[in-house]
Amino acid sequence: MKLHTKTALIIIGTLLIGFVLGFTSNIFFLKSRFDKVKDFHRRGKMTNFFVEKLDLTDQQKELAEPIIDKYNVRFHKHGEEMRDKIEGLVDSLRTELKPILTEEQMKQLNKRYRRFTPFMRKPPRP
């Protein structure tokens, strides 16, 4: 094999490895971001966030905690409703596309949908 061919193969191999590593690390980064958002609504996390970021005094903290907890429940409920709506939309899309797509295309669609289902899992209630 010529030197130019070996060099080209090494460069192409390095690029492919870089793409694979970048894609994989991006998936893990996104998953960790989604996990942080899910974790945020667990009991006390949202309250602690606001207390720390706003540097509340003890008196302010005592007055603010019930308000923040009330809105935390509302945010959580809204998130669940949005997840349910998105799941319903995806199911409707799949149902309407089913008569149009071939069996192989339907498998591809289901495979792609399964890729996003871990992000759509419902977090534990606060």
CB 50 within 8 A of CB 64: yes
CB 41 within 8 A of CB 79: yes
Question: In this model, does residue 38 exceed pLDDT 70?
Answer: no
Of 14-23, 64-73, 106-115, give the lowest mean pLDDT range.
Answer: 106-115
Q: What percent of the chain has pLDDT over 70?
A: 82
Give the DSSP letter of residue 121: P
**What mean pLDDT is reported for the chain?**
80
Question: In this model, does residue 126 exceed pLDDT 80?
Answer: no
Using 50, 70 and 90 to split pLDDT, how confident is the model at 116?
A: low
Question: In this model, does residue 65 exceed pLDDT 80?
Answer: yes
Query: Which of 40-75 are b and which e, b meaning 16 or more Cβ less than 10 Å from the residue's Cβ?
Result: bbeeeebbeebbeeeebeeeeeeebbeebeeebeee
Average of pLDDT values for 76-101?
86
CB 41 within 8 A of CB 75: yes
Question: In this model, does residue 113 exceed pLDDT 70?
Answer: yes
Say what the pTM is.
Answer: 0.47
